[in-house]
Structure 1
Amino acid sequence: MAHVLARLTGATLEDVKQQLAADAASHAEQGMHLEHIWTNDDDPGDILFLLRVDDLSHCKQLISRVHAEIHRDDPSAKLPHMTFLKEA
């Protein structure tokens, strides 16, 4: 089973939760399912979340494309750092 661990700094937990809720249906259509969300106990502006993904290759391509489009429109947009995990 593949996962994506995302880390977003300088955000609030409520903002991240709200965005993930708004994106849940489109994420599900793309085979991405939120499993967990955490805040760093030492830095509440450091948010991590874990997505289970059906197809890691598809997910990588999708995220790369979406993040590139966002940065094209707003080069200073805060986007999460994504770590793509496959089961060993």
Structure 2
Amino acid sequence: MPHLLAKLRNVSLEIIKEFLENDKAFHAENNMFLEHLWQNADDKNEAQFLFRISDIDETKALIHKLHSDALAQDPKANLPEMTYLE
């Protein structure tokens, strides 16, 4: 089963938790299921979270659209770095 590892900086873990909880239904509709959320022990301003996904290409297309839309609204938007895992 493929996974998506996301790394986000300069956002508190509490804000990320809230964001992920608010978007839980949207993620599920798009076959993205949160499995883990970690805070970097060496950098409290960095969190990583892991989604189980069903299809890398579909998820990449969705993330690309979401990130493109966010950057169109705010070119300096703080977006997570995505790593797709097989």
Instruction: With the length of structure 1 as denominator, give the TM-score of the two structures.
Output: 0.96
**For 1:14-29, what aligned pairs fall within 5 Å after superposition?**
14-29=14-29
Amino acid in structure 1 at the alignment position of 2:32: M
Q: Secondary structure at the match of 1:44?
A: coil
- CA apart distance, 1:54: 1.1
Percent identical: 44
Answer 1 or 2: which has greater strand percent.
1
* Count of paired positions: 86
Coordinate RMSD, CA, aligned: 0.5
Q: Could you say which residue in structure 2 is the equivalent of 1:54?
A: 54
Amino acid in structure 1 at the alignment position of 2:83: T
Unaligned ranges ≥5, structure 1: none
Instruction: With the length of structure 2 as denominator, give the TM-score of the two structures.
Output: 0.98
- CA apart distance, 1:56: 1.2
Q: Could you say which residue in structure 2 is the equivalent of 1:44?
A: 44
Amino acid in structure 2 at the alignment position of 1:48: Q
**For 1:1-88, what aligned pairs fall within 5 Å after superposition?**
1-86=1-86
Amino acid in structure 1 at the alignment position of 2:45: G
Q: Secondary structure at the match of 1:41?
A: coil
Unaligned ranges ≥5, structure 2: none
